[in-house]
Amino acid sequence: MSTVPHFVPGHEPPARPRDGALLFLARGMDVLVREHEGTASIPTGAAFPELAAEAHYLGALDGQDCYAAAIPESFTPPEGFKKVLGRSLYRRLDDARFAVVGRSISIIEWDTTHRFCGRCGTPTQLVPGERARRCPVDHTPFYPRIAPAIIVLVTRGDTMLLGRNATFPEPMFSTLAGFVDPGETLEECVAREVKEEVGVDVKNIRYFGSQPWPYGRSLMVGFTAEYAGGDITVDSKEIAEAHWFTPDNLPRIPPRISIARQLIDSFVERVKGTRAAS
């Protein structure tokens, strides 16, 4: 029987050779993979020893060390390797490796954008024993940053409110979402974002779950909420259109990896369970 790969995060590199370690090479939202007959795999340190030597330790996947390093600007992938969008590897890699791809993108983004102190401009230094860079002059610390965002499924009876984002390249509907403002609670953000994007009020806001989403460098905090009043009025800037949908007439919705889909699937199961019980 197959087992699900298990990742144990870490930041202190072990005293082991890096030749056999998985080496996640990233730049922006791109990662480097080895492609063979339509399959994609993560290279090992043996393929790029110079990059592996300076890489950040991420942890171990089923006992195999994982490192992340930046793809040099002038880098040309050798034969058999290709730079691809990290999120395009969904379903091309197992879920555990796909999650580490996202982690590596975030770590490399932090490392490359905090090479200099934002206060005095001095080159920063890595801090032993923790995931941080620090200015040697004024001692300002720089840690990997995440942007908290809410994502919410608004329901009314056996219907759910889904919107189509104006920037979506394809006609897909999803739950509503937005970034948290300074000084704002997550629940206040839920109510504000829903009101701003579709013009309705909500009540009974409840926590659902969370999902790190490094492909947008954010932490998605999921909620459910019930309709409290108002007519749908889209802002036309972020949301192009929004409608109430039942489980029987769903439009195209996000893939299963997303917390948006988890929110939708959970509601659909609950409605169908209620129907079956009655």
The model's pLDDT over 209-243, given as tens digits with 9 standing for 90+, comes to 999 887 667 899 999 999 999 999 998 888 999 99
Per-residue pLDDT at 257: 85
Q: For the chain, what is the mean pLDDT?
A: 93
Classify 111 as helix, strand or coil. Answer: helix
| 77 CB-near residues (< 8 Å, 6+ apart) | 32, 83
Rounded CA separation 273/276 (Å) = 5
| 247 CB-near residues (< 8 Å, 6+ apart) | 158, 267, 268, 271, 272
Residue 193: closest CA among 210, 181, 207: 181
What stretches of 37-140 adopt beta strand conformation (E)? 39-41, 56-61, 64-70, 81-85, 125-126, 133-134
What residue has token string 């919705």?
A: 253
Per-residue pLDDT at 87: 87
Per-residue pLDDT at 255: 87
Q: What is the pLDDT of residues 109-147, one digit of tens each?
A: 999 999 999 999 999 999 988 999 999 999 999 999 889
Residue 261: closest CA among 190, 200, 193, 172: 172
What residue has token string 């370690």?
A: 21
Which ranges in the chain are annotated with CATH 3.90.79.10?
147-277
CATH code of the domain made up of 7-113: 3.90.79
Cβ-contact 245, 251 below 8 angstroms: yes
Q: What is the pLDDT of residues 139-168, one digit of tens each?
A: 999 999 889 999 999 999 999 999 999 887
Residue 104: closest CA among 9, 5, 219: 9
| 18 CB-near residues (< 8 Å, 6+ apart) | 45, 49, 52, 53, 55, 65, 67
Cβ-contact 102, 114 below 8 angstroms: no
- Of the candidate CATH numbers 3.90.79.10, 3.40.190.10, 3.10.20.30, 3.40.980.10, the domain formed by 147-277 belongs to 3.90.79.10
For residue 182, give the DSSP letter. T
Residue with more model confidence, 203 or 129: 203
Q: Is the pLDDT of residue 4 over 80?
A: no
- Full-model pTM: 0.84
Length of the chain: 278
Q: What is the pLDDT of residues 27-83, one digit of tens each?
A: 999 999 999 888 999 999 999 999 999 999 999 999 999 999 999 998 999 999 999
Classify 243 as helix, strand or coil. Answer: strand
| 122 CB-near residues (< 8 Å, 6+ apart) | 116, 135, 136, 137, 138
